Amino acid sequence: MDKVEYLGKCLCINANGKKLLIVGDLHLGYEEVLNEGGVFVTREMFKEMISYFDRVFERVGKVEYVILLGDVKHDFGRILRQEQNDLLMLFGYLEGKLNKGGEIVIVKGNHDKIVEPIANSAGVRVSDYFTIGEYCFIHGDRELVGILDDGIRFWIMGHGHPAIRLSDGIKVEKYKCFLIGQYKGKEIIIVPSFLEYNEGSDPRENDLGMAWDFNYNRFNVKIVNSESLEVLDFGKLGKLKL
Amino acid sequence: MEKLDNVNSMNVKKSNLGKLEYIEAYRTEEVREILNPLVEEWFFGKFKDFSLTQRYGVKAINDRKNILVSAPTGGTKTLTAFLSILNYLVGLGIKKELEDKIYAVYCSPLKALSNDIFVNLIDPLKEIQELAEKKGLKMQDIRVGLRTGDTTVAERAKMARKTPHILVTTPESLAIVITTTKFSEKMNALEFIVLDEIHALTNKRGVYLSLSLERLNDLSLIEPVRIGLSATISPLDEIARFLVGGERDCLIAEVKLTKKIEIDLEFPGKNILEAESFESQKELYKILDKLIQENRTTLIFTNTRAATERIIHHLENQFPGKYADVIGAHHSSMSKEKRFEIEERLRKGELKVVVSSTSLELGIDIGSIDLVVLLRSPKSVSRALQRIGRAGHKLHENPRGRFIVLDRDDMVECGILMKEMIEKKIDSAEIPKNALDVLAQQIFGMAITKVWDVDEMLRVIRRSYCYKDLTRDDFFSVVSYLAGDYALEHRNVYAKIWYDEKENKIGKRGKLARVIYMTNIGTIPNESHISVVIGSGNNRGETVGKIDEGFLERMKRGDIFVLGGAKYQYLYARGMKAFVAANVSKNPTIPSWFSEMLPLNFDVACDIGRFRKLVKERMKDKKECMEFISEHLYCRKDVASEIFDYFKEQSEFSEIPDEKTIIVEKFKEEKEFLLFHSLYGRRVNDALARAYAYAAARLKHRDVEMGISDNGFFIAGESLDAEKITKWVKSKDLREILKEAIDKTDILKRRFRHCASRSLMILRNYKGREKSVGKQQVHSEFLYSAVRKISSEFPILREARREVFEDLMDIYNAEKVLKWIEEEKVKIKIIRVPIVSPFGLNLMMQGKADLIKMEDKVKFLKRMHELHLKVIGDRGKD
């Protein structure tokens, strides 16, 4: 298990002697979708995202793989101008953080229906799932036959936007978190969304919409400290008071 | 002006205020003289004489003078305005000189105005025309056009073909009309503007209208006369300036109430302390039944929707069959049709009693009411008068009212209100100034109609009284927002106007500008209703009812509230749903009428403080004191006796707070409490409570809870140093302190959503799609955090803050109170008590209203983590 390192909202994994950086749902272009809907909102998200990545890469150095856990773009079914620009700029940025021969991989999410043309043009691999060693990366919205392989011990996924409310009886605050548990003999890690502005959903209050019926009460909660890259262990969800 | 920030005072335009003149009534002959013979014959065929209001107003309007006519309800205001205008138009019609243009615009904030218009305009016009025909006089048709939100496309098209001579409209529709090229051309020689129910416009809707009027003035080649019609309101000077703008002159006709008010105060049961007990509740309905039976028609005001329904339910239950067909409810959550039906049945005399929250306070004629019952305090004198004025609407009948009070604070408060009504002392209204969200919407509207010279645009805006002191900085910050400057590299996406600095010009941007403006116009926020859904247990997923958004905001996890007679515990909210647990046995922690509560007027609050002092000085001799109370308040002996007992208890327990003394009671429950007996109304107390809570939170770096009411506020925390806390808050720092204190609160977020919607940052309607309030809310959360990242001084965020400070709270009077404390005109006296004193009981029972957050999110996370580690550690040891 020591091969998995929690770095703020991201994961760093060493598998088969290769270093992997795992990133949750990005939802690029959310702002443009809002603009289209008549909401005056400026586009700061991209800049903030890059500065967060800068801090992450400062810690991990160059990597062999950057794995984006799907829902890279926000809008279903079409690609907006901002998304196209942002995607290409993001790919360009991440390219620069790869070791020679490294690769960016997108596992397809429900929001990524037509992300392939842009990704392909930038040499980014898009697939339904991606495996390396005993790790399998998926978005988490669908069951896929291939991931049930016996050689795989870890399923690492996004999609659920997990977050947890903490309360001391008076004050209530919500934080992004990782959910770590077991399902049919596999180790599960649900990665929080990368999107700022929105913490996500508390599994005690909302259905995270994962493809499997996880027993979240027995999952471990690791909360992301938004200021540092530190992650704090809060034990089993079932033992946490709501 | 001390109200303005020092920073901005450099570029404030010094305005010259116009002249205001209070006039006397004219003699009947003087008014009669000006009437066209035909109109004169019609008028005196129908009425015996001019009403007092008409003797004040008709001639002045005829002389083309701006005039504010303030008269108590039941007057003949609307016809006063129309009589001069009809007289003029009939004269032209007979001479065949009527042109194809709009002569007069009549604007009313009421949507259901048609009945009034029929009585005061359409019918008179028809009768005059018939009279002319009978006499063989040929007269041109005088056309009236009605343009409201309900006007159909076909009707609008007809109006465009045949220009109405008198346009009847609402503030929102007026803004649309002046932005429509075809229509605005017909108004370039407008002669009269009539603003009805102006007392209902001392809000953002009125601010918005004031700018529309300046735009209308700008369109017109001649200066139209402005006529304002108002119920009793104060200060009249302020309302007159609001009507005509800062620099124009205005006459003021203050038509005094000649009728005597017949009013009394009573309580159910033998003892007011027991008023809420089951027996007294029965007694309450007995009293109501008696009053209803003694009168032909009774109108009961309850303040809240919930109480309205409860009263009807119990009357029907306790007197089976008696009220089945003769009772009606009227509140703002009812459909328009349903309300209209009730009004219609009232007018026809089919109903014996109508129970209303507040919705029947305004305008429209509802026929003859014999008695108005005020259940619980109406919170201000003008509101009380407005309500009681619904009775004896006929000219020569006296308005009759009855206060029925259910607790001791209510009793004292209504006693003071009764005194001031009898002594005709009216509390004052305020009009918001320099509202930047409304300004943004109007600048956009102006840019759509033409390309403006920037200075010319600012000049037109500053003619409105609400913007006479608008700084250039504020103006340009709004222009920058609209021109997309805050979004630098993406300017084209957001910009609604262009601003050319070199040429000093402003114009519209984008093909959709006009459509966006027309479909998103207005200032009334879409208040949303939240569905209450069972979130746990057997009936999970079942929807049990609806609550309004404001109420939800006041709740925190674990709070217990009542809905439709059952108790629920609030768990959490998701989008437009609040999830709750059912089958709760604990008592409610939050009263269900919380968000609907009207704030007590500051002047009335101070008068209660004065009354407390007067009673306190006379406590020694019970008999003398009771005599004083009943004389002072014009109240019955039993009421005076109850009030005396209440004060006696308080003085024995701790001390009676009064106009010169704020008593601060310190006691411990699960936390340490400081309860401030500061009787200044909840708007002032909201500001003070947050400032003191912030001071307490800052000293200990922990969150502090607070609760507020009209009579005081409390703060609660782990340990509170009363001396330090009260010394730390200074009047000069109040604004800065509050800015910090409200920074992350839901109230600011909610106000921001409304301001963002008014300033068109969030479009309710875009590209033909209407957006749900829920969606607007989600979007506004995102927008809010984005805007805060751009600048904490973003104009629309500043406007949201101004709204919280000045409209929701009353920061000016809060500063005044702090100054009194600093100058020792008011003393703070800290008393340690074992439990809360009688005067503080109601406040404590209301529960906690908000939390001042001091500990930041990351610190809280770390503290929780440490706590958690301890728990895990302890468990490990077992």
Question: What residue type is assigned to position B155 of the chain?
Answer: E
Least confident stretch, B194-208, B486-500, B850-864: B486-500
- Separation between Cα atoms, residue A190 and residue A159, nearest integer Å: 8
Q: Which of residues 127-186 of A touch B (CB under 8 A)?
A: 165-168, 170-173, 175
B330 and B221 both lie in a single domain: no
> Which residues does B817 contact at the CB level (< 8 Å), separation at least 6?
B678, B680, B684, B688, B826
Q: Is residue A37 within 8 angstroms of chain B, CB to CB?
A: yes
- Could A206 and B705 be called an inter-chain contact, meaning their C-beta atoms sit closer than 8 Å? no
User: Least CB-CB distance to B783: which of A41, A166, A227?
Assistant: A41
Looking at the DSSP assignment, which residues form a beta bridge with residue A189?
A156, A180
Q: Which residue has the tokens 């005399």?
A: B349
Question: Is B157 within the bounds of a domain?
Answer: yes
Tell me, what's the pLDDT at A169?
A: 66
Work out how many domains chain B is built from and give that number. 6
Q: Could you tell me the pLDDT band of residue B120, with boundaries at 50, 70 and 90?
A: confident
Pair B436, B795: CB distance under 8 Å: yes
Tell me, what's the pLDDT at B488?
A: 44
Least confident stretch, B94-103, B236-245, B542-551: B542-551
Tell me, what's the pLDDT at B634?
A: 95
Q: For B47-80, give one letter per residue: b (16+ CB within 10 A) or e.
A: eeebbbbbbbbbbbbbeebbbbbbbbbbbbbbbb
Tell me, what's the pLDDT at B19?
A: 95
| B516-519 contacts, C-beta under 8 A, 24 or more apart | B516/A38, B516/B760, B516/B763, B516/B766, B517/B179, B517/B441, B517/B444, B517/B445, B517/B448, B517/B760, B518/B176, B518/B179, B519/B763, B519/B764, B519/B765, B519/B766
Question: Is B280 within the bounds of a domain?
Answer: yes
Pair B288, B263: CB distance under 8 Å: no
B271 and B238 both lie in a single domain: no
Question: What residue type is assigned to position B658 of the chain?
Answer: D
- Chain B residues inside the 8 Å CB shell of A38: 516, 762-763, 765-767, 771
A196-210, B135-149, B203-217, range with greatest mean pLDDT: B203-217
Q: Could you tell me the pLDDT band of residue B1, with boundaries at 50, 70 and 90?
A: very low
Q: Is residue A41 within 8 angstroms of chain B, CB to CB?
A: yes
- Chain B residues inside the 8 Å CB shell of A167: 557
Question: Is B4 within the bounds of a domain?
Answer: no
Residue A200 predicted with pLDDT over 60: yes
Question: Is B432 within the bounds of a domain?
Answer: no
- Chain B residues inside the 8 Å CB shell of A235: 868, 872
User: Least CB-CB distance to A37: which of B760, B766, B785?
Assistant: B766
* Minimal C-alpha gap between B683 and chain A (Å): 24
Q: Is the peptide bond before B834 cis (omega within 30 degrees of 0)?
A: no
- Could B858 and A227 be called an inter-chain contact, meaning their C-beta atoms sit closer than 8 Å? yes
- Please provide residue B271's backbone torsions phi and psi, each rounded to the nearest 5 degrees: -140, 130
pLDDT, tens digit (0-9, with 9 covering 90-100), for B7-25: 444 444 455 889 999 999 9
Q: What does the DSSP 8-state code read for residue A115? A: -
Pair A22, A69: CB distance under 8 Å: yes
Residue B722's CB is within 10 A of a number of other CB atoms, namely 20
Q: Is residue B648 within 8 angstroms of chain A, CB to CB?
A: no
- Could B860 and A166 be called an inter-chain contact, meaning their C-beta atoms sit closer than 8 Å? yes
* Minimal C-alpha gap between B769 and chain A (Å): 9
B226 and B153 both lie in a single domain: yes
User: Least CB-CB distance to A172: which of B557, B765, B766?
Assistant: B557
* Minimal C-alpha gap between B848 and chain A (Å): 11
- Chain A residues inside the 8 Å CB shell of B574: 205-206
pLDDT, tens digit (0-9, with 9 covering 90-100), for A129-166: 999 999 999 999 988 887 888 889 999 999 999 999 88
Tell me the three-class secondary structure of B49-87, residue by residue.
CCCHHHHHHHHHHHCCCCEEEECCCCCCHHHHHHHHHHH
**Does residue B848 or residue B595 have the better pLDDT?**
B848
Residue B301 predicted with pLDDT over 90: yes
Tell me, what's the pLDDT at B115?
A: 61
**Does residue B520 or residue B115 have the better pLDDT?**
B520
Residue A152 sits in a domain whose CATH number is: 3.60.21
- Could B857 and A223 be called an inter-chain contact, meaning their C-beta atoms sit closer than 8 Å? no
- The whole-number average pLDDT for the span B267-275 is 75
User: Least CB-CB distance to B790: which of A42, A168, A170?
Assistant: A42
Residue B720 predicted with pLDDT over 50: yes
Instruction: Return the residue of B nearest to A32 by Cα.
Output: B493
Most B-contacting residue of A43, A74, A170 (CB-CB within 10 A), to test interface: A170
Tell me the Ramachandran region of residue A90: left when phi exceeds 0, alpha when psi lies from -120 to 50, beta otherwise: alpha
B133 and B189 both lie in a single domain: yes
* Minimal C-alpha gap between A171 and chain B (Å): 8
Tell me, what's the pLDDT at A80?
A: 65
B140-149, B399-408, B817-826, B830-839, range with greatest mean pLDDT: B817-826
Q: Is residue B786 within 8 angstroms of chain A, CB to CB?
A: yes
A198-202, B151-155, B771-775, B843-847, range with greatest mean pLDDT: A198-202
Looking at B396, B422, B448, which one is the last position of a domain? Answer: B422
Closest CA to B494 of B842, B94, B786: B786
Least confident stretch, A71-80, B260-269, B786-795: A71-80
Give residue A203's domain range. 4-239
- Chain B residues inside the 8 Å CB shell of A35: 493-494
Give residue B464's domain range. 439-519
- Could B782 and A34 be called an inter-chain contact, meaning their C-beta atoms sit closer than 8 Å? yes
What is the percentage of chain B residues whose pLDDT exceeds 90? 48
Q: What does the DSSP 8-state code read for residue B220? A: -
Looking at the DSSP assignment, which residues form a beta bridge with residue B850?
B706
**Does residue B407 or residue B878 have the better pLDDT?**
B407
For helices B637-653 and B602-616, the axis angle rounded to 10 degrees is 80
- Separation between Cα atoms, residue B459 and residue B452, nearest integer Å: 11
Work out how many domains chain A is built from and give that number. 1
Residue B876 predicted with pLDDT over 70: no
Residue B107 predicted with pLDDT over 50: yes
Residue A168's CB is within 10 A of a number of other CB atoms, namely 14
Pair B473, B11: CB distance under 8 Å: yes
Q: Is residue B491 within 8 angstroms of chain A, CB to CB?
A: no
- Separation between Cα atoms, residue A59 and residue B554, nearest integer Å: 43
Closest CA to B555 of B525, B588, B599: B588
Question: Is B11 within the bounds of a domain?
Answer: no
Q: Which of residues 503-532 of B touch A (CB under 8 A)?
A: 516
Question: What residue type is assigned to position B533 of the chain?
Answer: V
pLDDT, tens digit (0-9, with 9 covering 90-100), for B668-683: 987 899 999 999 999 9
Tell me, what's the pLDDT at B485?
A: 78
**Does residue B29 or residue B787 have the better pLDDT?**
B29
Question: Is B873 within the bounds of a domain?
Answer: no
pLDDT, tens digit (0-9, with 9 covering 90-100), for B605-621: 999 999 999 999 999 99
- The whole-number average pLDDT for the span B347-364 is 83
Q: Could you tell me the pLDDT band of residue A237, with boundaries at 50, 70 and 90?
A: very high
* Minimal C-alpha gap between A95 and chain B (Å): 25
Pair B197, B111: CB distance under 8 Å: no
Chain mean position to CA B867: 46
List of E strands, B670-791:
672-677, 704-708, 713-717, 765-766, 769-770
Q: Is residue B868 within 8 angstroms of chain A, CB to CB?
A: yes
Extract the tokens encoding B781: 């959360």
Q: Which of residues 212-241 of A touch B (CB under 8 A)?
A: 223, 225-227, 232, 234-235, 240
- The whole-number average pLDDT for the span B400-409 is 90
Pair A172, B556: CB distance under 8 Å: yes
Return mean pLDDT, chain B: 85
> Which residues does B196 contact at the CB level (< 8 Å), separation at least 6?
B77, B78, B81, B106, B107, B108, B109, B110, B113, B229, B363
Question: What residue type is assigned to position B634 of the chain?
Answer: Y
B64 and B194 both lie in a single domain: yes
- Could A43 and B487 be called an inter-chain contact, meaning their C-beta atoms sit closer than 8 Å? yes
Q: Which of residues 544-563 of B touch A (CB under 8 A)?
A: 556-557
Extract the tokens encoding B827: 């003393």
**Does residue B73 or residue A201 have the better pLDDT?**
A201
Kindly provide the ipTM of the predicted complex, given to two decimals. 0.82
Q: For B217-252, give one letter per residue: b (16+ CB within 10 A) or e.
A: bbbbeeebbbbbbbbbbbebebbbbbbbbbebebbb
Q: Could you tell me the pLDDT band of residue B774, with boundaries at 50, 70 and 90?
A: low
For helices B637-653 and B622-633, the axis angle rounded to 10 degrees is 120
- Could A197 and B782 be called an inter-chain contact, meaning their C-beta atoms sit closer than 8 Å? yes
B707 and B837 both lie in a single domain: yes
Most B-contacting residue of A41, A201, A204, A221 (CB-CB within 10 A), to test interface: A41
Chain mean position to CA B490: 38
* Minimal C-alpha gap between A211 and chain B (Å): 22
Q: Is residue B763 within 8 angstroms of chain A, CB to CB?
A: yes
The H or E element containing residue B192 is strand B192-195
Q: Which residue has the tokens 């129908």?
A: B46
B549 and B675 both lie in a single domain: no
- Chain A residues inside the 8 Å CB shell of B487: 40, 42-43
**Burial (0-12, 13-18, 19+ Cβ within 10 Å), A179:** buried
Residue B781's CB is within 10 A of a number of other CB atoms, namely 15
Tell me, what's the pLDDT at A1?
A: 41
Pair B89, B129: CB distance under 8 Å: no
Q: Could you tell me the pLDDT band of residue B527, with boundaries at 50, 70 and 90?
A: low
**Burial (0-12, 13-18, 19+ Cβ within 10 Å), B392:** buried
Instruction: Return the residue of B nearest to A33 by Cα.
Output: B779
B480 and B410 both lie in a single domain: no
> Which residues does B532 contact at the CB level (< 8 Å), separation at least 6?
B543, B544, B545, B546, B547, B563, B568, B577, B578, B580
> Which residues does B442 contact at the CB level (< 8 Å), separation at least 6?
B175, B208, B211, B212, B215, B461
Residue B655's CB is within 10 A of a number of other CB atoms, namely 18
Question: Is B767 within the bounds of a domain?
Answer: yes
Question: Is B386 within the bounds of a domain?
Answer: yes
Q: What does the DSSP 8-state code read for residue B260? A: P
Extract the tokens encoding B157: 């098209």
- Chains A, B: CB contacts within 8 A come to 101
Q: Could you tell me the pLDDT band of residue B116, with boundaries at 50, 70 and 90?
A: confident
